[in-house]
Structure 1
C-alpha cells in the first residue's frame, strides 16, 4: 500500500481522511491518497495566485523549469508507468510510453513561440496583438489516461504563463500525485498544485473565485455542470467531452485487411478512449466478412493484468464503468443482437471484459445511441453511403469520425460530410503534435493540442501605439462615428 501526498505551495500535504485506490485487475487496494479539505483548497488557490505574477513574467525561467521537469520525468518514467498500470489497468508498455510522452510534451511546449501579430503599421499607428496568460488554471482530469491527460493541460498552461491546480480522478490519483511529488522540487512554490478528492472537490474548484480557466475532460453531463458553474465568474472553459465516433467502410476495401486496421482504433485501452471507434458502418455486401474478421481478431487478443508480458488489453478501469458496459451489451443481446465474439467476463478476479463484436442490432439500441467507452463494438450494415452518413451524423456527439477506402479521394469526399471536430481517412485516432483537437456539438468547447492548447490559456491584448505627430485625440464627429459602429469601449 502506497501513501502519496498532495502538493500545495510546493510542499507535501496530507489530510485527516484518506481514500483507498484499487487495482482494477485484482480489485485489491494498491494505495491511499489524502482527501483535500476546503481549507487546503483555499490555501492551494492562494499559493497559485501568488505565484502567477512572477511565473507569467519570465519566459526563460519557465522554459528552464520545464526542461528540468522533462529531465525528472525521463528518469521517473518506469516508476510512473508502473503506478499508472496498477491504478488504471493498461499494459505496462503503454503506461511507460505515456510517461515518456509527458517529458516530451514539456520540451515541445517550452520551445513553442507565440507570435505577436501586427495588424496595422502606418503613419498613424502601430497596432500589435499579443497573447497574455489568463491566470490560474484549474484542471479536472479523467481516469482513462491519467498522466497524459494531466500533462496535456499542465505543459501548455505553463508555456502560456499560468500556474495549474490539478485534480486527478479518484479512481486514478496515484501517478498524478507522484508527478507532483517529483516536480515540486523543480518549480517555484504554487506553480503546480496537485490535490486529490472526489466530485465535491471538483465542484469546489470549478466555483472557486481564483481560477480564471477550467480545463475539464469527462462526460457530457459533467461538462455541462462545469460550464454552468464557471459562467458565474465568466471563467474560460476548455471542455473535452464524450465521443461516439463512427467509422464508415466503403465497398472497395479488402474485408480482412480493413478489419485488422480497424481493430485497435476500437479496442486500445479496452475501448476507454474518447476518440476510439464506437460505431462501425459497413456495406451490406461485405458485412458478414468484416464481422467475422473482427471477431477472429477479438478472439485472439490476450486480455490480462497490464504488468504481465504480452498482454494486449487490460481491464475496464472501475466498477461503475464495468457495470455500464455489461449492461449495454446485455440490453443489446436482449433486443436481438448477435454476439460474434466476446460478450462475457473471463473467469477470475478483476474488471476484465472480453473484446466484443456485436451485430444484428436494433436501430435504437443504447450501445449505438450512447457512448459505451468500453471494449464492445456494434457493426452496422448500410445499403448506400448516404444512409451511412445520415446515421453516422444522427447523434449529439461530434468528436471524431473516419472513412476507409482504397480510393483516398473518394473517402475524403465522404469524410467532409461527417459532423465531427476531426475526420480521418484510412486511419482513426492520430493527431500528431501540431494539429488542434476539438469536438463539435456536445463533444466539447475549445481546442487542445499544439499551439491551440497554449491559446486556450491566454487572453488577447491589443497594443495600439500612436505614431509621433499623429492626431492622438479624435474630433467629436469621429467619436460619434465609432460609437455608432459599436467600437467605443
Structure 2
C-alpha cells in the first residue's frame, strides 16, 4: 500500500445541494455539490491507490470481509439514512443494507482462475487475468446501496479502484457507506463523489477510467455510451470491444425497459412475439399450471433472466445480464468479477 501521503482531495467548502425527504417534500439536509474540475485529483489518487490494491489478493480478501462486517455493524444508521432520503419502508432499507454486506462477502471469496489451453501445440498456454484500473460507477436512486455494491464489490475484488457517484436524489446514505468502508479499506480504493450535472458527464468521459459501469434509464445509458466513445482514444461497441486501443474503457450498462403482460394476447405465440418486439430484456416472468410448457415459453423470451411461476428471485452466484435496451454487459457471480478484469495469454515451450 502507498506509504507517501498524496495531496488531499479539494474541499467542496460551502457548495452544496439540498436533499429532500420524499415523505414531506422538504429539504432536510444537503450534500456536497462537487464540481467536474475536482475529479482530476480524485481519479489521480484512485490511480495511485490501484498499484498497491491490485498487488495483494490476500489483503483484498481480508479487507472486503472486514468491509462486509463494517456495513453490518453500521446497519441501523445506514438503513435510517436510506429511508429518510429515499422513502422506502425501514424494513426494506435494512434488507438492502444486508444485501450490500452479503455482496461484499461473496466477492471477497471468489478469485479469477488461470485457464490452461491445450490445443495440441508444443507450447504451454495459459489465460491469466489483470485488473483494469480505476472504475467509474454511477447508480440510481431506487436501490442506491445495493446497486452500488453490485458495482464496487466485484470491481474491488478484481483489484480495481472505484469512484462511485450516487444519484443526487439519494447521496447521503451512499456517503455514509463510503465513510464506513473508508475505515477498513486502504485510502482512495473507494471514493464517493456527489453532485449535480455536469459531474456525471465528466465522470464517464474522463480519460483516467478504464471501466464505466452505470444503472439507470435507457436514454441516459445511451448518453453514457456516447460519452465514453467520444473520449480521447476510446473505442466502444454496443456488445463487444474490438481492436481496443490501450487507453480505452470497458462500458457496462444496465437499463430498464417496458414489461409486457401476456393476458391481452390471443395466444402465447402472439404474446412472445409482442414481448420480444419491445425494448425490454433484463428479466421476464412466465406463469402457468403446466411448468414444462411455461418453461418452454420462457426459453423463447429475448431477455437476460426468465422466471417460471415466480418473479425477481436472484442469487449472488448467478449472472445478471441485459438484452437490447436493458443494457450491456453482465453483473453478478463470477461473470461480474471477470467483467472487471482483462484477459491476457502467456505462452511458453512445454518442459521436456
TM-score by length of 1: 0.65
Aligned-partner SS, 2:183: helix
**What secondary structure sits across from 1:211 in the alignment?**
coil
Larger radius of gyration: 1
State which of 194, 207, 210 in structure 2 corresponds to 1:212.
210
Task: Report the alpha carbon displacement of residue 123 of structure 1 after superposing the two structures with TM.
Answer: 7.4
Deviation digits for residues 363-407 of structure 1 (CA, Å, limit 9, x no counterpart): xxxxxxxxxxxxxxxxxx222222222222221222211110111
Contact 1:153 1:215 survives alignment (8 Å): yes
Q: Does residue 1:222 correspond to 2:220, yes or no? A: yes
Aligned residue number for residue 240 of structure 1: 254
- Alpha-carbon contact 1:245-1:399 (below 8 Å) kept: no
Which of 46, 54, 72 is 2:52 aligned to?
54
**How many Å separate the matches in 1 of 2:341 and 2:178?**
24
**Measured at CA, do residues 12 and 429 of structure 1 come closer, stay the same or move farther in structure 2, by a change above 3 Å?**
farther
Q: Against the structure 1 CA distance between its residues 9 and 456, is the aligned structure 2 distance closer, same or farther, given a 3 Å change threshold?
A: farther
Matched, 1:401 2:284: yes
Contact preservation (8 Å) 1:30, 1:86: no
Structure 2: distance between partners of 1:15 and 1:423:
48
Distance 1:179 1:157 in 2: 16
Flag the 1:69–1:458 CA change in 2: closer, same or farther, 3 A. Answer: same
- Distance of 2:76 and 2:127 partners within structure 1: 43
Gaps of 5+ in 2: 1-5, 235-247
Deviations 1:148-171 (A, max 9, x none): 011111111111000000000000
Supply the distance in 2 between the matched residues of 1:78 and 1:423 (Cα, whole angstroms).
34
For 1:71 and 1:415, the matched residues in 2 are separated by 38
1:435 aligns with 2:318: yes
Say yes or no: does 1:281 pair with 2:262. yes
Superposed CA RMSD: 1.8
Change in Cα spacing, 1:228 to 1:135, as seen in structure 2 (3 Å) is same
Output the CA distance in 2 between the equivalents of 1:89 and 1:9.
Answer: 37
Structure 2 contact 257–279 (Cα < 8 Å) conserved: no
What is the correspondence of 1:182-221 to structure 2 with a 5 Å cutoff? 182-221=180-219
The SS at the match of 2:164 is strand
Partner of 2:64: 66
Mark the CA change 1:440 to 1:9 in structure 2 (over 3 Å): closer, same or farther.
farther
State the partner residue of 1:450.
333
**Paired residue secondary structure (1:165):** strand
Q: TM-score, normalised by structure 2?
A: 0.90
- 1:89, distance to aligned residue in structure 2 (A): 0.8
Structure 1 residues 88 and 446 mapped into 2: Cα distance closer, same or farther (>3 Å)?
Answer: same
Alpha carbons 1:15, 1:36 under 8 Å: kept: no
